[in-house]
């Protein structure tokens, strides 16, 4: 069994502010003997407009935020999974990227968000992520870690179970743990966050770690929060608070619920093995096909 920490922050347009929040979470994680810290989508910054989102994006080799976390990972001998922005080719859009920084401080894996959040909710937010973000080209195969094989996804990918099923059924490295770092809105968070996360854990029989943004980022954006870790049986084994609908109006810019927080849980591959043994899922690929061919 290995300890994992799920982190919750409120990112603003200030990378230095956001890096300081994440440094605090690294310190908390290290003090608890954690082997990996999972941070939210867009931990480096959340801007108030598409043009600002594009202008703030930095190459990871030049980003004070990424370089700072690489330094923290190396000093603490800690893996860090974190969502950031990278410039896309042509400079007209950015990439919504999830990095796996290993315990040596090296960027070992990166995944680019496939599904973009374009919504118009009656009485709620109107968000068009595709105006400023370039969708990713492919699924990243699961990769080995101290937690078993890890499969990376981001936020809106949660609504597309084909990806999680593909990661679970990879022919060489089937996933034992799936990630969904996110910045869910209040309406979608209240309605769908927990049910979707539990469903992905149950149907894939994997651990699910969902690090969430929480609080008011700017005058336009408030995130739901409620970061959690779910086991392969669908039990929530670690959880942080979320924002209620009315409470979101009261939060000031840059304010979450209780500041940067973590929740910790043991990742036990024995639980994965037991659940899969007791409730075997024999997919009928001969009938409806296989993602990996």
DSSP state of 242: B
| CA–CA distance, 45 with 215 (Å, rounded to integer) | 13
What's the pLDDT at 289?
Answer: 75
| CA–CA distance, 211 with 227 (Å, rounded to integer) | 5
Class of domain 2-288: alpha beta
- Alpha helices (H) in the chain, listed in sequence order: 15-31, 50-56, 64-76, 161-168, 186-188, 194-204, 247-250, 269-278, 285-288
Backbone angles phi and psi of 50, in degrees to 5? -60, -50
Backbone angles phi and psi of 46, in degrees to 5? -130, 120
What's the pLDDT at 282?
Answer: 86
What's the pLDDT at 293?
Answer: 58
| Sign of the torsion angle spanned by Cα atoms 256, 245, 183, 28 | positive
What's the pLDDT at 158?
Answer: 98
Token pair of 132 as six digits: 């400023």
What's the pLDDT at 288?
Answer: 82
What's the pLDDT at 242?
Answer: 97
Give Cα 1 to chain centroid, integer Å: 22
Evaluate if pTM is beyond 0.85.
yes
- CA-based radius of gyration for the chain: 18
Residue 179 near residue 209 (C-beta atoms within 8 A): yes
Residues marked active site are found at 41, 113, 155
For the chain, 293 residues long, the average pLDDT of each consecutive 10-residue run is 96 97 98 98 94 94 98 98 96 96 98 92 77 96 97 98 96 96 95 98 98 96 97 98 89 92 98 97 83 67
What's the pLDDT at 124?
Answer: 66
């Amino acid at each position: 069994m290995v300890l994992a920490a799920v982190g919750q922050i409120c990112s603003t347009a200030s990378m230095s502010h956001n890096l300081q929040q994440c440094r605090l979470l690294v310190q908390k994680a290290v003090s608890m003997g954690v082997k990996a810290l999972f941070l939210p989508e867009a931990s480096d910054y959340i801007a108030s407009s598409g043009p600002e989102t594009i202008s703030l994006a930095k190459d990871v080799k030049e980003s004070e935020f990424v370089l700072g976390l690489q330094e923290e990972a190396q000093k603490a001998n800690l893996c860090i999974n974190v969502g950031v922005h990278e410039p896309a080719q042509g400079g007209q859009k950015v990439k919504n990227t999830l990095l796996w920084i290993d315990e040596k401080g090296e960027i070992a894996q990166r995944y680019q968000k496939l599904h973009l959040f374009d919504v118009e909710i009656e009485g709620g937010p109107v968000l068009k992520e595709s105006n400023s973000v370039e969708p990713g080209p492919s699924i990243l195969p699961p990769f080995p870690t101290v937690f078993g094989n890890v499969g990376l996804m981001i936020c809106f990918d949660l609504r597309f179970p084909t990806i999680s099923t593909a990661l679970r059924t990879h022919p060489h490295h089937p996933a034992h743990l799936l990630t969904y770092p996110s910045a869910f809105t209040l309406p979608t968070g209240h309605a769908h966050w927990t049910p979707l996360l539990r469903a992905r854990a149950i149907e894939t029989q994997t651990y699910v770690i969902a690090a969430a943004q929480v609080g008011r980022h700017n005058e336009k954006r408030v995130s739901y929060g409620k970061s959690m870790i779910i086991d392969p049986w669908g039990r929530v084994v670690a959880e942080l608070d979320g924002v209620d609908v009315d409470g979101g109006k009261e939060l000031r810019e840059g304010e979450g619920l209780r500041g940067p927080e973590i929740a910790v849980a043991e990742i036990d591959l024995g639980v994965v093995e037991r659940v899969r043994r007791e409730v075997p899922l024999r997919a009928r690929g001969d009938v409806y096909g296989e993602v990996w061919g």
